[in-house]
Chain A
């Protein structure tokens, strides 16, 4: 879905241009004219928001789109400015990017790599976007990131939590603000040890694609480091809706913890099944049976309702954070839409601002210039405290939140509480860490 705003002036203008074109048939050929792919020549610049509008992650996609619209409004000087006011870099002036008004087109990834690439391609070829951003699945993020690298435009990843996005599939034109599976494991394991002890037997149910695999690996490694045993790991297809046949075997294993490496609709369904089968009331090895959901989001916590109470997980950001940036964002989002933003909304809002800021600082939309401005960039005031875009793999490093389903929610949005803010140092890893090895950033591609 593209939003193309046809103003009366626009129509008039194109009429004049059309007239001029007919009157004076100048033929121009254009292969060497542009310095880089889709260089904006008019008074506006177009961004491509490629989010899932249907499929298992449609909820997150809808929230991302709301945040994008807000970000565009703020960049163009509308609204209350949101996190632009708290952002440590002051390059953005509220007059668009580099003086050009920001416009956008939207597309539906359907949470399918094929559809996402087709949608991104049409944005690049037809709508002339300089940057594609969004997505709510690592499979899609990796597929679209690859496409953007080939086409020569910047990809600002949305919600993607797989280690591979900035690990073995990292690309010079791609950047990720969101945290990843390794960080979740590193932040979660100490808390889990503290709460549930070091002698636990974990059973993993894992979404069968890149995100599930790497998150499972990360969580298993981290918890094993604390003395836990991984009893079993069962892969479930992303399209699964009925998890009963996967949950039932857990009852008869000697595991006392169930780790659900699921997200979105998948997680709602699998947690529903697990609760239906009475796992939470079970006693195994004289311990209470526990469920862990390593990657949590408020949207899915709400979808799962009562079932999430007391369940631990990690998240990139939560609306109840007390810092000025988070407060400003919650305020402008809440006033626009009537409810607080999700972590997906937060990360894509940040990505849009970060991209715009990098263009301003680089003085160009050229992907290579933008990439250079983003690499090693240190900033603050976007809700996560001090953050750095590491130059070597284009991954943001920042604090990670460990959260828990709230026992006594005061409203329908108040379903998670922050248990611990894990400092950056504890979740950091080397670029050549085995879980991230095998990739090649390559060189930035300006596409021309």
Chain B
């Protein structure tokens, strides 16, 4: 029982990441009708926003301490981060300690800008081209982005840590009489995902801007004929989608050390999630994200892997194939989207 609950928590956590990426992906697809293979790369870029901020904060002044020796027997070099030198040791350490949450503030404008530039500079020339061309050009872009990151940060995963206060485990099951402890940061990640997803939905549902965007998703031409500059709003939505993917990446770094290949790692899964949820359906993407995350975790239980070895690695694809063949529009897909 405990084991299953634990895996469900794991699944929800992974599902949060899937849902956040798929949300942005389907937003872009629903508004612009563009199949963006570079969306995984945006998630990766977000993670590296956090890395960049951390590197920036830990830029250090090097002083030589003659009293201590390094491994060659020469005077040791002591590094003190500039933030500690400027703000005092305690404040400086606190800033470095909280660098991952701080990176959200840094990542939102950066990723929004990246999204807008991408849409204005590249994607908009592909609205009228076939989907295959969109896939290909964004695939090329994804390669370029990941190679740039590799050139700057190297190929190895970079260790990032959550603030000290949020490390360790929480004993959640004590009240229910269960032995259930779970890492705090993973709980934070889930809550964070819920907040982001909630605010995107609220934004689309309750603001005039969101209403126009939704109208544009349903019928772009008519909205355009009403004299509304729908293109500008769609560009804005692309920026939002990029920022969502970006912050999802930022917050994921303490769970798993980021590397340049993250984009490709999450790309396939997030497409499967979008398609299973139904192309262009925001609710479907979120639902499918959590569903596939939990399913994958279930398949990782000892019971499942001993019954069918390796099931944890194929279950997502298997389910995706079955759903696509039985429910042609995915779980919550609307009629008329992507149907030739």
Contacts and interface: CB of A to CB of B under 8 A. Distances in A.
Q: Do chains A and B touch in the complex (CB under 8 A)?
A: yes
B71 A334 contact: yes
B265 A248 contact: no
Contact of B155 (A55, A245, A281): A55
Given A268-B257, A277-B183, A248 B313 contact: no
A269 B302 contact: no
B155 A53 contact: yes
Contacts, number: 99
A268 B155 contact: no
B301 A277 contact: no
A232 interface: yes
A305 interface: yes
A319 B71 contact: yes
B72 A249 contact: no
Given A237-B313, A249-B302, A413-B71, A278 B181 contact: yes
Given A242-B14, A249-B302, A59 B265 contact: no
A277 B305 CA distance: 21
Contact of A411 (B76, B183, B297): B76
Contacts of B68: 410
Contacts of B185: 276
A83 interface: no
Contacts of A2: none
A306 B183 CA distance: 17
A241 B256 contact: yes
A54 interface: yes
A272 interface: yes
A53 B76 CA distance: 30
Nearest to B313: A237
B340 interface: no
Interface string B136-163: 0000000000000010001111010100
A305 B159 contact: yes
B71 to A, nearest CB: 5
Given A58-B155, A335-B72, A245 B300 contact: yes
Interface string A302-337: 011100000000000001000000000011001100
A44 interface: no
Contact of B154 (A58, A305, A319, A335): A58
Given A54-B155, A272-B257, A249 B301 contact: yes
Contacts of A334: 71-72
B70 interface: yes
A103 B7 CA distance: 54
B159 A268 contact: yes
A51 to B, nearest CB: 13
Contacts of B110: none
A319 B156 CA distance: 23
B155 A241 contact: no
Contacts of B150: 54
Interface in B290-340: 296-297, 300-302, 305, 312-313
A265 interface: yes
A252 interface: yes
A265 B156 contact: yes
B292 to A, nearest CB: 13
B312 to A, nearest CB: 7
**What bracket does the count of chain B residues touching chain A fall in?**
35 or more
B169 interface: yes
Nearest to B154: A58
A251 B312 CA distance: 19
Given A234-B305, A252-B2, A414-B71, A245 B10 contact: yes
Contacts of A244: 10, 13-14, 186, 255
A158 interface: no
A411 B305 contact: no
A248 B168 CA distance: 14
A242 B256 contact: yes
A340 interface: yes
Nearest to A411: B70
A248 B179 CA distance: 12
Contacts of A232: 302
Contacts of B297: 245
Given A252-B3, A330-B71, A334-B72, A277 B169 contact: yes
Contacts of B114: none
A414 B185 CA distance: 29
Contacts of A304: 159
Interface string A230-267: 00101001000110111011011000000000000100
A338 to B, nearest CB: 9
A64 to B, nearest CB: 14
Given A234-B305, A237-B313, A411-B70, A248 B159 contact: no
A249 B179 CA distance: 13
A248 B183 contact: no
B6 interface: yes
Nearest to B72: A334
A309 B72 CA distance: 24
A331 B72 contact: yes
Interface of A: 53-55, 58-59, 232, 234, 237, 241-242, 244-246, 248-249, 251-252, 265, 268-269, 272, 276-278, 281, 303-305, 319, 330-331, 334-335, 339-340, 410-411, 413-414
21 contacts: A53-B155, A58-B156, A242-B255, A244-B10, A245-B14, A245-B312, A248-B7, A251-B2, A252-B2, A268-B157, A272-B159, A272-B257, A276-B169, A276-B185, A277-B169, A277-B181, A277-B183, A278-B169, A305-B159, A330-B71, A331-B72
Given A237-B313, A245-B296, A410-B68, 19 more contacts: A59-B156, A234-B305, A244-B13, A245-B7, A245-B14, A245-B300, A245-B312, A248-B10, A251-B2, A268-B257, A276-B183, A276-B186, A276-B255, A278-B169, A303-B157, A304-B159, A331-B72, A335-B72, A340-B71
